[in-house]
Amino acid sequence: MSESLVSVRDVSKRYVKGKERVEVLHSLDLEVPAGDFLALMGPSGSGKTTLLNLIGGLDTPSSGTISIGGDRIDQMSSAQLARWRARNVGFIFQFYNLLPVLTAQRNVELPLLLTKLGASERKRRALTALKVVGLEDRAKHYPRELSGGQEQRVAIARAFVSDPTLLLADEPTGDLDRETADEVLDLLQILNREHGKTIIMVTHDPRAADHAKRTVHLDKGSLVDQAAA
């Protein structure tokens, strides 16, 4: 495999609540090469979301280093992280998290507001992204007018519209039925294979994990095994 895009080294994450200290991740190491499609599995509460948030620069580790494409994101300030996220990472959530007041096209366009692109170019790119997920005819629809699967596809379009190298998905099919879930997973696969996106996907569903190139298991804050799929 090519060299690592994501490099998590000796990372611990502790939460302090009053006198209690909960260590959610223990000296965790994880390398994800560019172009990988990694499924992250594990029981509830094992720390999957926590790890994903750290890799996506939404949170910072208590100790250890995280570098993404050579950027040491564990040392960035929150303003730096915001800027870094806008350029390098796209998030996909279990509950889609589209803004209800915006149409599909404008939801997709949202991350582009942080770029220097002009209005017409932003619109063009948003429509292109919608075309990739097969929803160009739904551009003017509001989230409430879309099915769950369609909403998730819009959310995926929003995640890659600004062309980040890394896509992070937290149980993207957790709220979808089998068939719709497969459509979404196929879409992620296309993004991985044809558009070269590196994807890390948290999932509880072994069949979803089958779409990934490999799967790692997290248990009580440590990686258990790292078998190639």
Ligand X SMILES: Nc1ncnc2c1ncn2[C@@H]1O[C@H](COP(=O)(O)OP(=O)(O)OP(=O)(O)O)[C@@H](O)[C@H]1O
Interface with Mg ion (CB under 5 A), residue from 4, 7, 46, 49: 49
Give yes or no for residue 227 binding other proteins (CB under 8 A): no
SS (H, E, C) 131-160: HHCCCHHHCCCCHHHCCHHHHHHHHHHHHH
How many Cβ atoms from other residues are within 10 Å of residue 122's Cβ? 21
CA atoms within 13 Å, Cβ hemisphere of 135: 32
Query: Minimal CB distance to ligand X: which residue?
Result: 49
CB under 8 A: which stretch of 26-34, 39-47, 62-70, 80-88 binds other proteins? Answer: 80-88
Whose tokens are 């959530």? That residue is: 93
Nearer to other proteins, 85 or 211 (CB): 85
Nearer to Mg ion, 49 or 107 (CB): 49
Contact, 156 vs 76, CB < 8 A? no
Q: Which does 198 bind (CB under 5 to 8 A by kind): Mg ion, other proteins, ligand X, none?
A: none
Give yes or no for residue 224 binding ligand X (CB under 6 A): no
Task: Give CA–CA dist 2/63, Å, rounded.
Answer: 27
Q: Shortest approach of other proteins to residue 167 CB, angstroms?
A: 13
What is the distance in angstroms between the CA of the first residue and the CA of the last residue of the chain? 14
Q: How many helices (H) and strands (E) does the chain have?
A: 7, 10
Give yes or no for residue 110 binding other proteins (CB under 8 A): yes
What is the token pair recorded at 51?
Answer: 């790890």
Residues 47-106 touching ligand X, rule: CB under 6 A, are 47-50
Instruction: Give the contact letters, 157-176, x = binds to other proteins (CB under 8 A), - = no.
Output: -x------------------
Interface with other proteins (CB under 8 A), residue from 87, 204, 213, 220: 87
Judged on CB neighbours under 10 Å (0-12, 13-18, 19+), 44 is: exposed
The residues binding other proteins (CB under 8 A) are 49, 53, 56, 58-59, 78-79, 82-87, 91, 93, 95, 97, 99-102, 106, 109-111, 113-114, 119, 122-123, 158
List interacting residues with ligand X (CB under 6 A): 15, 17, 22, 24, 42, 44-50
